[in-house]
Amino acid sequence: MTITVAIKVGDGIVLASDSATTQTLTDSTGHSDTINVWNTANKIFNLRKQWPLGAMTWGLAAIDGRTIAEHMKDLRREFTDGAGSIPPLDQDYTVENVAQRVQAHFSGLLAKRGQRPFLGLLVAGYDGAFGAPGRAFEVTFDDAGNETCEELLPGGEPGLLQWGQPEAIARLVDGVSSYLVQALVNLGTDATSAPLYVEAIKSQIAQPIIHDGMPIAEVVDLAEFLVDTTIKYVRFTPGHPVVGGPIEVAAITRHEGFKWARRKHHYSSSLNPNSE
């Protein structure tokens, strides 16, 4: 499992994630058990160095024995240098076009795999044309073979997006559990009315923590706080600690491009002085 967060404001888009990845084992009856939780997964990526483009992943952790991070690095090289008949990105690119290329790349990988567990990807950043607002596209693949590529928060709209384990953030920001609709139904509320009641409650008690004019440094701190809160919430609730490990945060802005704000390092810089 995972927690991934994206916060979009006027000055940029911040991506944040935990580092947990879960290994499951499915027996002949179809029953699955968690057998390992590793806390070193990479879920945030830059798609071309120095450019204002990034991506984030949740769901399926690996394809053909290679992590999603490794496949993203293949794409980064393609976007930078091209690959065969596929050209690199030019200065007239759009985030939508990049998201479509990401979708096509992973669609091809999953088609070869046969079985298609759920995979989610966020592609975010700024178009090559100067002056356009930040944009974010959600790319998904479900186990039925369906694919989507949809823009989220279009037209420069600010907001908070999250995937994976939503409960802690829902309670903190919305003021109610993500299970409240079902709880109301269990208590006898009409199933059609329950979602309306929940939205009415949220409208009165939700906390407006995202503001369009927030400085990007504040957004970085907020994103890290939301991921950290989820990690601690999962730690102290029943079940496997499937959210955890180091928190990574990256900011994408029009002028500075993709910049890491928090990042784990698997290779010591003192041992690799010439590495990036």
* Residue-by-residue DSSP string for 181-212: HHHHHHTT--TTTHHHHHHHHHHHH------T
Q: pTM (2 decimals)?
A: 0.92
**The CATH number of the domain covering residues in 3-165+210-262:** 3.60.20.10
Per-residue pLDDT, 276: 54
Per-residue pLDDT, 36: 86
DSSP state of 221: H
Q: Which residue bears the tokens 């928060």?
A: 153
* Tokens read off for 146: 């369906």
pLDDT tens track, the chain, 276 positions: 799 999 999 999 999 999 999 887 667 776 777 778 899 999 999 999 999 999 999 999 999 999 999 999 999 999 999 987 788 999 999 999 999 999 999 999 998 877 778 999 999 999 998 888 999 999 999 988 899 999 999 988 999 999 999 999 999 999 999 999 999 999 999 999 999 999 999 999 999 999 999 999 999 999 999 999 999 999 999 988 899 999 999 999 999 999 999 999 888 878 887 765
* Tokens read off for 182: 């079902």
Among 182, 81, 14, residue whose Cα is nearest residue 6 = 14
What ranges do the domains of the chain cover? Answer: 3-165+210-262
- Quote the distance between the C-alpha of residue 196 and its chain's center: 28
- Kindly report the number of other CB atoms within 10 A of residue 219's CB atom: 25
Strands 44-46 and 32-38: unpaired
Per-residue pLDDT, 275: 61
CA distance 8 to 56: 14
One-letter amino acid for residue 6 of the chain = A
**Residue ranges in 145-193 assigned as alpha helix (H):** 167-169, 180-186
